[in-house]
Amino acid sequence: MYDYKSFILEKIKHINTSIFFNESFTNIDNYLNDVDQNNIFFLVDNKVFELHKTLFQPNKNTLLIKSTEDSKSIKNVSSLIEKILKLGGNKKSYIIGIGGGIVCDITGFIASIFMRGIRFAYVPTTVLSITDAALGGKNGVNFNHIKNLVGTINEPNFVLVDLCFLDSLKENEFNDGFAEIIKHACIASPELFKKLEKSLISYESRDLLSEILKESISIKLNIVSKDINDLTLRKILNFGHTFGHAIEAKYNFSHGNSVSLGMIYACQISNKLGYLSDEKVNRVKNLLNKFGLPVDISKINVSEILHLIEKDKKVKYNNIDFIILRDIGCAEILNIKISDLIHA
C-alpha cells in the first residue's frame, strides 16, 4: 500500500487550477463538497475503468470513453452530451475526466460548451496527461479530419494526480510521456535536462518520479501563466510538435514517439541555422533514446510531412512559427517559410 504524502502544488499567478499532487483518487469527494453527488459525471477511459473497477462506485454517473482519435469527433461529443442530459445534467453539473489526453480533451470541451460552461476537473492517468494534457486549459476535438480544430482554452478547476494509475501502464506507454517532460527540459530547464540525463526513473522510484513530474508541471504552468491564450510565449510548448503532429497523422505513431522525432527534426534545423551545436543535438538524441523514444528520422518522408504541415491550422501565408532551440533549456520562436524547413 502506498503511503500518500499528498500536497497542493504551489499556486502560480494567473493559473486558476489547483493541483492536488500525489493524492488518492479515493479522496476525490473531499474536493467536491459543494456539489450534489448525483450531479457529478465521471467521463472515464474504458481501459482505466476495467483495470481499476473497484475505485468506481456503481451508483455514480459514469460514462466510458475509448481512448482513440475517433472518440474525439463532434458526433461522439454530441452523443456524450445527450447521455449527460438524459442523466439530468444541468448548469450546476460537474464533470470529472479520468484518463489520458483524449479524455482530458473531450471532458474539457464538453464542460466548456455544455450550458455555456460548467465546472470540471481532471484525474490524469498517464505520464503524458499529468505533465501536459491536463494542464493549461487547452481542449479540442477533431473536425474534417483536422486534429483539435474545434476547441477552447478553459482551465479545469482542479487536477488530482494519483500516481497509482501509472502502475498499470506498459513500459512503452510510461516512457511515451517522457517526450513531453524532455520537451519541457529542452525549452526551459537545463537543470531538469541534466537530472533526466543522470537518473534512472521508473514507477518504482516514486520519490524521484514525483520530483520530476512536479518540476515538469511547474515548467508548463509557468509558461502558460504568461500567455494563456497561446499568442506569444506559450508557442514554445510546441517544440517538436509541428513536425510531430504531422508524423502522428501520417504514420499513426503514438504522440510521444511522434514528438520525439519532431524534436530531433527541430534540433537538426536549430543546428543547421547555427544555434545548436552537434554536441547538444546528440545530448537531446541520447536522452530521448534513454527513455526508449525513437530518434532516427531517416525513414520519415520529409516532403510528405511538410505537405501535411502546410495544412496545419497554425500556418499563415506559408509561414509558420517554428520552435527552435538556442541552447538546451532555451527555446525561441522563429517565423519561417515551410519550404525552408526541408533543409534539415
> How far, CA to CA in Å, does 154 sit from each of 50, 93, 95, 118, 140?
29, 16, 13, 11, 10
From the CB of 136, what's the least distance to ligand GLY, in Å? 4
From the CB of 230, what's the least distance to ligand GLY, in Å? 6
From the CB of 237, what's the least distance to ligand GLY, in Å? 4
From the CB of 339, what's the least distance to ligand GLY, in Å? 25
Q: What are phi and psi of 149, to 5 degrees?
A: -70, -30
Beta bridge partners of 330: 327
Q: Rank residues 217 and 237 by Cβ distance to ligand GLY and give the closer one.
A: 237
From the CB of 135, what's the least distance to ligand GLY, in Å? 7
> Residue 35 has which C-alpha cell?
456539489
Q: Rank residues 52 and 138 by Cβ distance to ligand GLY and give the closer one.
A: 138
User: How many residues sit close enough to ligand GLY to count as binding (CB under 6 A)?
Assistant: 6
From the CB of 220, what's the least distance to ligand GLY, in Å? 7
Q: What are phi and psi of 11, to 5 degrees?
A: -70, 135
Q: Rank residues 100 and 136 by Cβ distance to ligand GLY and give the closer one.
A: 136
Query: CB–CB of 192/212 below 8 Å?
Result: yes
Per CB under 6 A, contacts with ligand GLY among 73-132 are 132
- Classify 95 as helix, strand or coil: strand
CA pair distance 182, 267, nearest whole angstrom: 13
Q: Rank residues 312 and 340 by Cβ distance to ligand GLY and give the closer one.
A: 312
Q: Rank residues 230 and 312 by Cβ distance to ligand GLY and give the closer one.
A: 230
CA pair distance 11, 17, nearest whole angstrom: 8
Which H or E run contains 255? helix 255-272
Q: Rank residues 226 and 337 by Cβ distance to ligand GLY and give the closer one.
A: 226
From the CB of 234, what's the least distance to ligand GLY, in Å? 5
From the CB of 82, what's the least distance to ligand GLY, in Å? 29
Q: Rank residues 89 and 124 by Cβ distance to ligand GLY and give the closer one.
A: 124
- ∠ CA 180-182-188, rounded to 5°: 100
Query: Residue 337: what residue type?
Result: K
Q: Rank residues 81 and 233 by Cβ distance to ligand GLY and give the closer one.
A: 233
Give the Cβ contact number of residue 298 at 10 Å. 5
- The pattern of x and - marking residues 212 through 251 that bind ligand GLY according to CB under 6 A reads ------------------x---x--x--------------
Beta strands in the chain (DSSP E): 7-8, 18-21, 40-45, 61-65, 94-99, 119-124, 141-143, 146-150, 158-161, 319-327, 330-337
72, 119, 138, 214: which one binds ligand GLY (CB under 6 A)? 138
97, 100, 108, 136: which one binds ligand GLY (CB under 6 A)? 136
Interface ranges with ligand GLY (CB under 6 A):
132, 136, 138, 230, 234, 237
